[in-house]
Amino acid sequence: MPERDARVAVVTGASSGIGRAIALALAADGADVVVNHRDSDARAREVAELITRSGRRALVVRADVSDRTDVERLVAQTLDAFPAIGVWVNNAGADILTGEARTWSEDEKWDRVMAVDLKGTWLCTRAAAAAMAERAGGAIVNISWDHVLSGMGNATAAIYAAAKGGVLAMSRCLAREFAPRVRINVVAPGWIRTKWGEGADEAISRSVIQATPLGRWGKPEDVASAVRFLASAEAAFITGEVVVVGGGVVMS
């Protein structure tokens, strides 16, 4: 469960996929949850409704994590509603694999992923850590990618690796900077059945399963379980670490 003296969790990009699973998992562990989204208000409110049905409080806040003003507002609105932030999960990420984004130039994809995944994590981590350090402390979990540890040979993967590798390296620096009041760790998911995976053709689906020692695609809930642990008091002596949730495709 979240830190005993701070039962409020903020999850960025929480309207669907991995973020949704994380928000629901933290609520199940007793946290009140701030459900952040950029442009998915209806889905974010569905997540919030599920949280309130479970007996916890939920607050929906629209904010673009790549924008400093929006991040500052996200923190301020959270602290207006709750006395402190105990857990912050930087899950928001740019989708350049589905929809119109698939047609963007490499430069456009690069700029978007760097703005959301890397700069957004930077802005949110610093803002959240500062707010936590002023109060009871807390735990931050940043989302990276398992293949930053091994590489993958295509241009889109290189863009993701540059951003998510930056998240991993940056998180370890921030963990040292904000210790001991704030713990900062990383979860690195592998092949997880989110929007892109659900639309993958049969050949791709089979190839992922064949390449995975545990013999299946990951689920958003698998990632959420790792986040729950790192955000909990059971991980009170862990900081600056990475947990790979990829079924063994990449072993760190």
Cα 89 to Cα 247: distance, rounded to the nearest angstrom: 22
- How is the beta sheet containing 182-189 ordered, strand by strand? 58-62, 32-37, 8-11, 87-90, 138-143, 182-189, 242-245
Cα 210 to Cα 248: distance, rounded to the nearest angstrom: 11
Cα 32 to Cα 12: distance, rounded to the nearest angstrom: 14
Look up residue 99 and give its two tokens. 């929809």
Cα 77 to Cα 60: distance, rounded to the nearest angstrom: 10
- Residues written for the chain: 252
Helix (H) or strand (E) holding 33: strand 32-37
Residue found by looking up tokens 């928001």 in the block: 92
> Of these residues, 110, 145, 160, 191, which one is catalytic?
160
Q: Which amino acid is located at 153 in the chain?
A: G
Catalytic residue flag (residue 131)? no
Instruction: Using DSSP, state whether 35 is helix, strand or coil.
Output: strand
Q: What are phi and psi of 30, to 5 degrees?
A: 105, 10
Residue 137 CA: distances (Å) to CA of 31, 82, 111: 15, 15, 33
Cα 32 to Cα 17: distance, rounded to the nearest angstrom: 19
Give catalytic residues, as residue numbers: 160
